[in-house]
Structure 1
């Protein structure tokens, strides 16, 4: 059984909807070979990453950067994971009130340093809240989980 780790910051009802949607997609009824573990960034750590086969990151855009909670996760995990989790398939969604560019760039820099590989381009959910964001997060979770199960990643 493969394991998908979802590490997502959910400070609001809407960001919680996004995390729940990503999890719902990842746990799709037709995907039987993937176990999904969901943790908030302040509870997740290097051992969780070392135990998984792919990771889905979710964050808000905070002052043009990732959330402090996700930054804390990376601060605690970066060096313990360096050289140990290379090639880990990853994906990212950003709930961005503005453009999400700084947030994306910051996470991409860390992912590059860890030598993780992108399963797909980061999903940037820009501007005013739209219910369509929920469907996009669910599709991202489904895509990552299905790709993991099928051996694409």
Structure 2
């Protein structure tokens, strides 16, 4: 079993790298999508991701209940969760206790038998946001990434399509 966390900035190549890592394991890969198509632009993004991946993936749309989805798909091919940052945003928007959910995920990952590749955004490298909500989200994402990096077997940082192994 392996837990691989892949982080980086927007359009850094994280998803493409994560797809390659998930495909490198035996079995049919499972794509766990946390995004919701709430507008036309997001529908187009999702369609581009699907077209790039091809049809060899089992797909699950899971905006909130990530741990049950990982448990339900355990025992087969690698699971790719894309992306944790959207999942966090969904949790915060639903006024869920995001720290509890993140800690539940961190506790579940080592107990799974099939590999998991997690995609997240590094949002703390830019300027300090100008409003409390954005600062709260940036801080939550940083905390989430630290917690999950702590339980991951491998951590990669992707810049300009190039992965750098951190752990």
- TM-score of the superposed pair, with normalisation by structure 2: 0.46
The structure with more radius of gyration: 2
User: TM (normalized to structure 1)?
Assistant: 0.49
